[in-house]
A and B are shown apart, each in its own frame.
Chain A
Amino acid sequence: MFSAMLGEAWHAMGANRLRTFLTMLGMVIGVSAVVLMMAIGQGAEASVKRSISAMGSNLFIVLSGPPNMGGARSATGNAVSLNVKDAEAITELDGIASVAPISTGKAQVVFGSNNWNTDVIGTTASYLDIRDWNLTAGYSFSDSDVRSATRVALIGDTVAQNIFGDDIDPVGKTIRLKQNPFVVLGVLAKKGQSLDGRDQDDTIIVPLTTAQRKLFGNQIPGSVRQIMVQAQSDNVMVLAEENINGLLNQRHRIRDGADSDFSVRNLTALANSAAETTRTMSLLLGAIASVSLLVGGIGIMNIMLVSVTERTREIGIRMAIGARQRDILMQFLLEAIGISIVGCLIGILIGVGGAYAVNAFTGTEIIIATHTVAIAFGVAASIGIFFGFYPARKAARLNPIEALRYQ
C-alpha cells in the first residue's frame, strides 16, 4: 500500500509540472543557499584555524614603546626600549618556554640575475621552535651563529621560488642582501597566509646580530623592537603575562602608576577572537540561508492547500471507495515530502556545484562537510512534514458527502 501511495504522490507531482517545479524552486534555493553558505563559512573557519596553528601556540609579543604615550604619540614599537638582556631575563621567568628577540627590516635579495624584495627577520635560533616552523631542506643556524653574527640565512618558500625557481637547490648557495653575501643554510616549510592576509613565506630569517650589524644598523647595541615569548601552556598565559610586565617594569625602572615603555600582547587571544568572529559570521550566513528554507516550506504549504481544495472531489471519491483518514493524510503528506526532498536533492547539487564554482573562480577555501549536507537534507524533509501536515490533515478531515458534492 505504501509503494502505491508513493506512486500516487509521484503522479500528483507530475500532474502539474510547472507548479511542482516552482514550489520546489523555493526548497532548491533554500537548500542550495544553506549548503553554499555553510561550505564558505566552514572553509573560512578552517583557514583561520590553520593560520592560528601556523602562528604557533601560547604566544606573547612584547613590543617596545608604551601602549599609549601622553602628549606626542608615536606608533608602538617606534621608541626602542627593549634589548637582548630583557629577552634573556624573560627566559628565566616561571612558565616561559622560549623567548626570541626580533629585529625586522626590508631588503632586496639577489641571486644571479634574479632579485626580490622581502622581509628580513633577525632573531635567535629559538624563533623557529616558537613559531613551530620546520625546514624542508638544510638546517637552521645556531646560537653560535648569533653570537658571531655569521652571514647565514633561512629563506621562505616564496623567496626560494622567486630567486631560485624550481630547478636550483637553494641550500649552500650564496645570496646577496644589501651587497652582503649570505649562505643559504635552509629552506622554510610553507606556512601560507597569516591572519591579516600577509604571505608568511615571503621572508628571510637571519641571526639577530647579523641583521643588526650588517643589514640595518642599530643606534643602541643590543636593542630590539620586539620579543616573541612562548608560554609553557595555555594555563600559565595569565601568570606569564603578569610576570613579564612585572619583570620589565622593574628592569626599566618604571614607577608604580607611571606609563610603561613597552607593551605585552597576547597573540593567541587575538587569534582566538578572530576564530570566534569567523565562526559567528559562518553561523550568521547559515541562519540567513535558513530563512529562505523556511520561505520555501511556506511555499509548499501554500501549494498543498490549493491542491487539497482543487482535489476535494477526488478526496471524496477516495473516501467513498474505502480510503481511511490516515490514507488521505499519508497521500498528501507524501506529496509534500516528495516535493521537499526532490527540491532538497537538487538544492544540494546546486549548492555543492556553486561552492566548487566559488572555489574555482575566487580561490576562496570551501569545505563541504557530509554532516552539513545530511543536516540540510534532514531539515528539508522535516519542513516537508511540518508544512505538509496541516494541508494533509485538512484533506483527511473533509466530510466525504460534501467532498463528493464539491464542484
Chain B
Amino acid sequence: MKASIVVFPGTNRERDIAIALQRATGRRPDMLWHRDTELPAGTDLVVLPGGFSYGDYLRCGAMAAQSPIMAAIRAHAERGGHVLGVCNGFQMLTEAGLLPGALLRNASLRFLAMSCRMKVERADTAFTHHFQRGQVFSATMAHGDGNYFCDAETLARLEGENLVALRYEGENPNGSLNAIAGILSPNLRVLGLMPHPENCVDPLVGGTDGLPMFTSLAESFAAA
C-alpha cells in the first residue's frame, strides 16, 4: 500500500499514524507538506492526521481546507481514492466538504483527553473489515471540538444509507448527534473519525484495539 500523510503547520499526530501504518504494512508512508500541490504517483490512501492545524484559527480545520494540497486530495477522492481523516483531519474533511456536517465545541465545553469506546457499525469497508460488525473497541480521544452536528435531513441520509461507521458506546462524551464518532462518504472511501485508533497499535502503549483499522487498510491494498 502506498500511503501519504499530510502535514500542516500545527499537525502533531503524523508520526503516530506513520507508525501505525508501518506496523501494518511494513512500508513507510510518504509525508507531504500542506504546500505540496500533488500526491506521489500511485497513492492509495491519503491520511489527514490530528493536531491543531494553523492553530485552529477561525474554525478547526478551516484553514487547512483551503491549503494548496487540498485540491489534490479532493481530486484523489473524486477519482475514488481513499482518504482517512482522524480528529483534526475529520474536521478538515467536513470543512472541505468531503464529508457532510461539522464538528462543534464539545457539549461540556471541555477539552476531552480520555479513553473512549466505539462500536463498529460498518465492518465492510477498506478501513474496518478486520473488525466485526457490532464489535466494541477502545481508543483514545483528545479534542475540544468533536461534537458531530448536521441538519436533520443529512442525519436521516447518513443513517438511512448506513454511512455511520463508528458510534460512541456507553456515555456520549461530546454531545455528537446519535453518538456519531465517525462517518463515511457514500462510496465508503472517505472516513472521518474523532478518536485516535493510531494510539492503540502497540501492546506496550495502550493496547492494540486500534490496529485492525490499519491491518484492514494494509490488506485492502496489498494486491494493489
Q: Do A and B come from one complex?
A: no
